[in-house]
A and B are shown apart, each in its own frame.
Chain A
Amino acid sequence: MTSAISMHDLVKKFYRVTAVDHLNLEVPEGAIYALVGPNGAGKTTAIKILMNIFPATSGRAEVLGTDSRHIAGRAFRSIGYVSENQELPMWMRVSEFLAYLRPFYRTWDRDLENGLAKQYDLPLDRKLGKLSRGVRMKAALVSLLAYHPKLIVLDEPFGGLDPLIRDELIEGLLERAGEATMFVASHDLAEIENVASHVGYLEEGRLRFSEDMAVLVERFREVELTFDAPPALPEKWPESWMQVAASGAVARFIESRFEEERTRGEISKLFGKSRDVTFTAMSLRSIFLAMAKAGRGRSA
């Protein structure tokens, strides 16, 4: 499978601060890839390197088979990029903005533009500067989707938007999912949880993991063990176990490499016989919280 985006040992430093630290990442074609991580993790920096908004300090990246340093001009006919902080021409009316961008793209679909404008109920005669943030984001998204880009890159597109608008925008994106690869950076797990096919977790400029969403969700479980008496916690436990704790006769931990038979075997070996063992699937939010806590524990 070819990659729509690939990053090889990408580094970006701003004076003494390393914003992106030897990032290696592949986004398969057709995927909806969510790059998540806390504020300041380096997500926006990585995206701006991909879009050739500024250069990397070292390493390289490729976008749709082109070195990111050469992404310019006509290359953007196949790429759609929207960021929450993007400066739009506030003096333009929505209709003017769309009409202005139209001639830049050979694949601009006028019917799609009109359909999306209607779907999002865009106020075409109002200036972009007079719109609320959410409606302005809708206008930006229409201007991006109307020309059927092969790659859609979104940087915190839904931050601060009310749930209704957010759902509208996500719905609009999902309708295009079949024809484009999407790369979405976000710190809001809820907005991408039901959307992304792949996820990568960036923390302090480093990629902690990157994998298929289904595989990720499948390998994490909250494990609860019930005993007849308060158990003694083992001195050592497998590396894949996180947040091991006991409270009364109940012991809990998070298993990050869940395979039922193997996990049961390790439990039995370390804890002995238990009255009950339950395995509960975790939300993406819970998974990342657990990983974040584990990360802080490592750095401490």
Chain B
Amino acid sequence: MSNQILHIFRKDVRHHWPEIVLSLAAVVTYAWRQSAHLAAWNQVAPGDTPLSQLASVLVTVAWVLLIVRVVQGENLVGDRQFWVTRPYEWKKLLVAKLLFVLVFVNVPLFILQSFVLMAAGFPLSSHIAGLLWLQLLWVIFVILPVLTLATVTAGIGQFVLTVLGLVLCIIFAAALFGKVNAPGVSVVESLPSEIGGLILLAASVAVVLWQFARRRAAQSRTLLLGAASVFPLIAIVTPYTALIAHKYPMATPGQRLSVQLAFDPATLTSHEGGFPEKDKVHVLIPLLVSGVDDGSMVEVGGVMESIQANGGAQWNSGWHGSSMRFLANHQHANLVITLKRDFFERVKSTPVNLHLTFAMAPMQARKTERLVTRDDVFPVAGEGRCMFSPFDPDVILCSFLFKTPLLLARAKSDEITCPVRRNEIPLPSGMILYSSLGEGGGLALNPIRTNIFYHWDLDRDVDDVKARDYRSRVCPGTPLTLFSNWEDLPRYRTELKIDGIRLADYQLNDARDGMGGFGITVP
């Protein structure tokens, strides 16, 4: 037979035309809603509308259904299928199925994303590579897993049950992972999932090939289960402490540090802001911050706290993640430590030695641009577009293609053009405001990523009144300095020793409004 591939493909199209029509209708619906949404928002639209979100779910479900149905049209599980004793050549059968997925999933996805991209005002010709990258993500994270499960399940019902079972296993594994002493230290915490992911990817490809070539469902399922079980095993055996020491080497005595931290003993008042937790107490350690260069920032990848009290009582938090970030002109920061209540009660009134270790990840912006915000759409960071939200003037909406870059925006209080509202206090002269967009991207139907600037941090304390009463916002006409294209600088660990501190003086009382937590807070 000269062209078995096309013959099987044509048969599949005839058989699955209802599913094809359904999926294409969902794609068209999504494209129509997205283009209308973009037009209504002058191309800088805040994500998907509810109808678009529904359409995107429909599209994904329709594609999953299509892939499962077409693969199971020549079922690879069982021993009663008529086709196994007909002259099918397994490579041609596999190619026919992949051709079907390419034509009815990948191509519509490409066309859809191209359409949305152009509707958002981006030129298509210069972003083909980005669209192909999204295709690769869809293949790795959606198409291949669905294809793999379809080859080891006998029907759509078994497929759905398997997926539900997998979701339950993931939930269980995540709960188990939380019990394992796996620190949430940036760079290190993702290692198990990266290694496990690669193993699972390889196993999936192997299973698809093996199933088409040999149809050994029991062996294939065993291989998949084995590959999936690698995740928790890796999480358990990974030497996190050694890895952290390797990724964040201790700063050498003469090394220029990207940030200087010191204990701020002047801040001794009792704070509100702790959230009530059974058997736990929160202690807030005020820090003085200095030395961060303009155009740079230092993210804290992880923190470890240890306490030594007189009489031998000791406590160590182990490494844990942190959301702290130090910027230029910042002068203060707070570190919240969570202790077991019984230990705190034992040592709270006696001086203890506190040893803090920070895993620092400094970054330097390679691009600095100065722009003046406008009433309408204004460009940022290359191909990004921003505008003030017509529904909330304190919010700046920004659209980017494929992923949101890490952006740091700086404004000066003297240059803010916002009119002062009732009960609002103008910021003192010379203050710096910062806001940032986190880096984000990845798998989605919509190639446009949106994010918002809405919260502006002040670089230092303001007197007497709470920060929220100040006019910490920007308006059209306010000049901004944008820092982008961040370059990672060498990571390091640094330590801060605070001897003779009385923990009771820094206890966070339970907040009346339940606010509080880790990270930078402005007292």
Interface residues, chain A, with chain B CB atoms under 8 Å away:
48, 51, 53-54, 72-77, 79, 81, 83, 85-89, 91, 100-101, 103-106, 140
Contacts and interface: CB of A to CB of B under 8 A. Distances in A.
Contacts of B87: 73-77, 104-105
Given A53-B85, A73-B88, A91-B15, A103 B79 contact: no
A72 B215 CA distance: 12
A86 B89 contact: no
Given A53-B79, A54-B79, A89-B82, 12 more contacts: A51-B85, A53-B85, A73-B89, A75-B87, A86-B81, A86-B82, A87-B75, A88-B82, A100-B7, A103-B4, A104-B1, A104-B4
Interface in B1-42: 1, 4, 7, 11, 15
30 contacts: A51-B85, A53-B84, A53-B85, A54-B79, A72-B90, A73-B87, A73-B88, A73-B90, A74-B87, A74-B89, A75-B87, A76-B85, A76-B86, A77-B87, A81-B85, A86-B81, A86-B82, A87-B80, A88-B82, A89-B15, A91-B15, A100-B7, A100-B11, A104-B1, A104-B86, A104-B87, A104-B88, A105-B1, A105-B87, A140-B82
Contacts of B86: 76, 101, 104
Contact of A79 (B11, B15, B80, B85): B85
Interface in B247-269: none
For the complex of A and B, 7 pairs with smallest distance between CB atoms:
A81-B85, A73-B89, A76-B87, A53-B79, A87-B80, A104-B87, A77-B87
Q: Taking each of B1, B75, B84, B90, which has the highest tally of chain A beta carbons within 10 Å of its own beta carbon? A: B84
A79 B88 CA distance: 13
Interface string B67-80: 00000000100111
Given A76-B85, A104-B86, A48 B79 contact: yes
A54 B90 CA distance: 16
A83 B80 CA distance: 8
Contacts of B7: 100, 103
Contacts of B82: 86-89, 140
Contact of A85 (B1, B80, B90): B80
Nearest to A97: B82
Contact of B80 (A76, A86, A106, A140): A86
Contacts of B80: 83, 85-87
Contacts of B89: 73-74
A85 B75 CA distance: 15
A72 B82 CA distance: 13
Interface string B83-98: 0111111100000000
Contacts of A89: 15, 82
Contacts of B85: 51, 53, 76, 79, 81
A103 B87 CA distance: 10
A163 B114 CA distance: 63
Contacts, number: 50
B221 to A, nearest CB: 15
A104 B88 CA distance: 8
B385 to A, nearest CB: 49
- Taking each of B1, B11, B85, which has the highest tally of chain A beta carbons within 10 Å of its own beta carbon? B85
A88 B79 CA distance: 12
A163 to B, nearest CB: 26
A12 to B, nearest CB: 12
A65 to B, nearest CB: 17
Nearest to A48: B79
Instruction: Using C-beta atoms within 8 Å of the partner chain, give the interface range for chain B.
Output: 10 to 19
Contacts of A140: 82
B68 to A, nearest CB: 16
B233 to A, nearest CB: 28
A81 B81 CA distance: 11
Nearest to A89: B82
Contacts of A86: 80-82
Contacts of B78: 87
A86 B75 CA distance: 12
Contacts of B11: 100
A75 B75 CA distance: 20
A87 B81 CA distance: 5
Nearest to B80: A87
A54 B7 CA distance: 27
Nearest to B15: A91
Contacts of B4: 103-104
A140 B80 CA distance: 14
A79 B87 CA distance: 9
Interface in B44-86: 75, 78-82, 84-86
A285 to B, nearest CB: 29
A146 to B, nearest CB: 13
A85 B15 CA distance: 22
Contacts of B75: 87
A103 B88 contact: no
B81 A103 contact: no
A49 to B, nearest CB: 11
A103 B86 CA distance: 11
Contacts of A77: 87
Contacts of A91: 15
A75 B152 CA distance: 25
A121 B84 CA distance: 27
A75 B85 CA distance: 9
Contacts of B81: 86-87
Nearest to A44: B79
Nearest to A87: B80
B86 to A, nearest CB: 6
Nearest to A103: B1
A48 B84 CA distance: 11
B1, B4, B75, B79 pick with most chain A CB within 10 angstroms: B79
A147 B186 CA distance: 65
Contacts of B84: 51, 53
Nearest to B14: A96
Interface string B195-236: 000000000000000000000000000000000000000000
B382 to A, nearest CB: 52
Contacts of A87: 75, 78, 80-82
A83 B85 CA distance: 11
Nearest to A75: B87
Residue from B1, B87, B89 with most neighbouring chain A CB atoms (10 Å): B87
A226 B369 CA distance: 120
A91 B17 CA distance: 12
Contacts of A72: 90
B441 to A, nearest CB: 42
A140 B75 CA distance: 19
Contacts of A74: 87, 89
